[in-house]
Amino acid sequence: MVKKLLRVLAGEAVTPPPVWLMRQAGRYLPEYRALRSQAPDFIKFCLSPAEAAEVTLQPVRRFHMDAAILFADILLVPHALGQKVWFETGEGPRLEPVRDVAGLKKLSYDAGKLAPVMETIRLVRKDLPDNVTLIGFAGAPWTVATYMIEGQGGTGHELSRTLARDDAFFGALMDMLVDATSAYLIAQGDAGAEALQLFESWAGSVPPELFARAVLDPTQRIINKVKAAHPNIPIIGFPRGAGDKLAAYAATGVDGIGLDQMTDLAAAIASVPARIALQGNLDPELLLAGGGVMENEARRIIAAMKDRPFIFNLGHGVMQPTPPEHVAALVSLVQA
């Protein structure tokens, strides 16, 4: 029996569609907060296989989604490159910024630092129900680069765009991230990840003239490398905010595209070839609100996608104050 999510990523339209949610593991769940409160260091928490596996499984146990997403973070790659990464409580990630070639020369990828993630994957696969797919992931190079350069989240990425126009620096950074991210995703596939998602959460901060160099080209290079090692593991790209560039993004070789909530579904259907699965795109604010507005919008999305290979998801991650009962109601509605 081929799992539902994998059938969709192979190009089949399945009714009802499979469902999972970005950030389905995380702070909106009391059982997550209970475990997390005992771990002051977030990076260490991500690199503790027993805890990370437990947190990966929590939402699946509670809500019976069709997929589990590995509990980890996109900033584990800079950590494995040797950049100093830490999380300030209540403020988010901090990194010792890298802004020149001399800084890049001090970094090199140490796969051993991410070995615990592979152990997490093996633990999750042992306990995962037969019909549930395990999705591994990494940040896409531009998105990870914004954190490496800015040293934090929450900026407008001005500095990242400026440095993206410095060919020597940006070319070397993209090469380093393509190699590290590919090795990391291949190792996840070796360990048992059944599908992979590349989070390009900040595609929307890239101007058109940089889009090929910062987003399309590095994404395509990663897909080529991962597919060479694992031709049968499908890859979903999530180019959040890519707007009218979905057709170009589809040509990178992705098997599925995650759509953010600002994307018009008819436009996405028209611009992405029909063999590529679409995923999305309920507004996380409607999941937070719950009730009739959420249900009507979920039904509208399902109806719009009924003839496409389609995976129901949000347009971005579950928001922290979201009541878990709203998640339960949404998953049941989609699966009914």
Q: Where in the sequence numbering do the catalytic residues fall?
A: 23, 27, 36, 73, 147
Q: Choose the stretch contacting ligand 1CP; rule: CB under 6 A; options: 25-33, 170-178, 185-193, 261-269.
A: 25-33
- Three-state DSSP state, 280: strand
Least distance CB 144 / ligand 1CP (angstroms): 9
Q: Which is nearer to ligand 1CP, 36 or 64 (CB)?
A: 36
* Euclidean distance between CA atoms 270 and 259, whole angstroms: 13
Least distance CB 270 / ligand 1CP (angstroms): 26
* Euclidean distance between CA atoms 203 and 212, whole angstroms: 11
> Which residues make beta-bridge pairs with 312?
19, 280
330 Cβ contact partners less than 8 Å away, ≥ 6 residues apart: 19, 21, 282, 287, 294, 298
Least distance CB 101 / ligand 1CP (angstroms): 25
Least distance CB 332 / ligand 1CP (angstroms): 19
Per-residue binder mask for ligand 1CP (CB under 6 A), 115-134, x = binder = --------------------
Say whether residue 219 binds ligand 1CP (CB under 6 A).
no
Q: Quote the DSSP letter at residue 207.
A: -
Which listed residue (201, 279, 281, 322) binds ligand 1CP by CB under 6 A? 201
The b-or-e profile of 47-58 (16+ CB within 10 A means b, else e) is bbbebbbbbbbb
* Residue ranges in 293-312 that form contacts with ligand 1CP under rule CB under 6 A: none
* Euclidean distance between CA atoms 141 and 216, whole angstroms: 10
Which listed residue (269, 317, 324, 333) binds ligand 1CP by CB under 6 A? 317
Least distance CB 56 / ligand 1CP (angstroms): 8
Query: Any idea which residue has 């922290």 for tokens?
Result: 320
Say whether residue 196 binds ligand 1CP (CB under 6 A).
no
Least distance CB 228 / ligand 1CP (angstroms): 24
* Euclidean distance between CA atoms 80 and 113, whole angstroms: 6
Distances (CA, A) of 149 to 83, 180, 217, 238: 11, 17, 19, 21
Least distance CB 24 / ligand 1CP (angstroms): 5
Say whether residue 27 binds ligand 1CP (CB under 6 A).
yes
* Residue ranges in 135-174 that form contacts with ligand 1CP under rule CB under 6 A: 137, 153-154
Query: Any idea which residue has 């496409």 for tokens?
Result: 308
Q: What is the 3-state secondary structure (H, E, C) of 29-51?
A: CHHHHHHHCCCCCHHHHHCCHHH
| CA-angle at 277, arms to 273 and 278, nearest 5° | 95
User: Within 13 Å and on the Cβ side, how many CA atoms surround 127?
Assistant: 16
Q: Which residue, judged by CB position, is nearest to ligand 1CP in the bound state? A: 153
- Three-state DSSP state, 263: coil
Which listed residue (24, 48, 205, 322) binds ligand 1CP by CB under 6 A? 24
Total number of residues that touch ligand 1CP (CB under 6 A): 22
292 Cβ contact partners less than 8 Å away, ≥ 6 residues apart: none
Q: Which is nearer to ligand 1CP, 24 or 322 (CB)?
A: 24
Per-residue binder mask for ligand 1CP (CB under 6 A), 50-79, x = binder = -------------------x-xxxxx----
Contact 196, 236 (CB under 8 A): yes
Per-residue binder mask for ligand 1CP (CB under 6 A), 29-48, x = binder = -------x-----x------
Task: State the residues that interact with ligand 1CP by CB under 6 A.
Answer: 22-27, 36, 42, 69, 71-75, 92-93, 137, 153-154, 199, 201, 317
